[in-house]
Amino acid sequence: MFRCFVAIALTGLLGLAGGAVAVGDEYLNGIRWDKPAIITPGESDSQPPSDAIVLFNGRDLDNWHNGENWSVRDGIIYAGKGPIRTKEEFGDCQLHIEWSSPSEVKGDGQGRGNSGVFLMGIYEIQVLDSYDNETYFDGQAGAIYKQTPPMVNAMRKPGEWNSYDILWTGPRFNEDGTLKSPAYITAIHNGVVIQNHFALLGDTPYNRPPKYKPHKSVGPIALQDHGNPVRFRNIWIRPMQPIGQEQARSPFIRKGDREIPIEPETDAN
């Protein structure tokens, strides 16, 4: 009996390899997709791919407003006076940024290695030395400030480099200024997911509840000055947009030589 079963199984596999077995039904969605662009990845996951916009070239801050009040030494940005903002503005995007708090620990809580990365110049993911440093949880490193803590604390030791990889979807507003859909953020800290498609409640102030105000579909990337000597390097961004598509025909099932239309589902109630 066992030998018979093996023989039947092998016959089936050989039939598949030779194309002798009939192909089953196939679902086709009727969408004509644009061809995905071909890009060259970076030499490592932290390096910019060929379609990225490099926001810091390792030499100067000419691409940033107020860059003259921060300093660059040995390919590293040192926080200075006032925030800096990119001259170019972005909407939905993938952002990579690396940052480090001082190796000499000074202060505690919010007074230790404090800065922030602002998407669209409005929505903050916190930068803070949260290594063995207690503070309010929705204000520690990786928090969406005053809205949600990170899912885990993935900090490296003071003086070591941290990375944020951020997927950002900006909010959408109706013509009358009301909110159509909130902003969403997914954030990875040192290779660890800390925010998973979190829906923001609005902007991220310290002194009032978050709220949305209608604004443009694009805005700058901003880095905060909080009076602490935080460092930054390797900053790049990729604007994101969905792949192009056209609904060329209604979905159907291909059954051999026949095409069977898929009827839209109706509410049984």
Looking at residue 24, its pLDDT comes to 84
Tell me, yes or no, whether 258 lies in a domain.
no
Residue 202 to residue 182: CA distance in whole angstroms = 8
Tell me, yes or no, whether 40 lies in a domain.
no
Looking at residue 103, its pLDDT comes to 75
Looking at residue 12, its pLDDT comes to 45
Tell me, yes or no, whether 206 lies in a domain.
yes
Residue 95 to residue 110: CA distance in whole angstroms = 24
Looking at residue 14, its pLDDT comes to 42
Tell me, yes or no, whether 26 lies in a domain.
no
Tell me, yes or no, whether 70 lies in a domain.
yes
Determine the structural domain holding residue 157 and report its residue range: 53-239
Tell me, yes or no, whether 255 lies in a domain.
no
CB 30 within 8 A of CB 252: yes
The region that residue 35 occupies, defined by phi over 0 for left and psi between -120 and 50 for alpha, beta otherwise, is beta
Predicted TM-score of the model (pTM): 0.87
Looking at residue 111, its pLDDT comes to 65
Looking at residue 81, its pLDDT comes to 96
How many distinct structural domains can be found in the chain? Answer: 1
Looking at residue 22, its pLDDT comes to 55
Looking at residue 7, its pLDDT comes to 42
Amino acid at 64: W
Tell me, yes or no, whether 45 lies in a domain.
no
Give average pLDDT by consecutive 10-residue segment, the chain, 269 residues. 43 45 82 96 95 96 97 96 97 98 77 86 96 92 98 96 98 97 98 98 97 98 92 97 95 93 76
Tell me, yes or no, whether 135 lies in a domain.
yes
Q: Which CATH number goes with the domain that contains 157?
A: 2.60.120.560
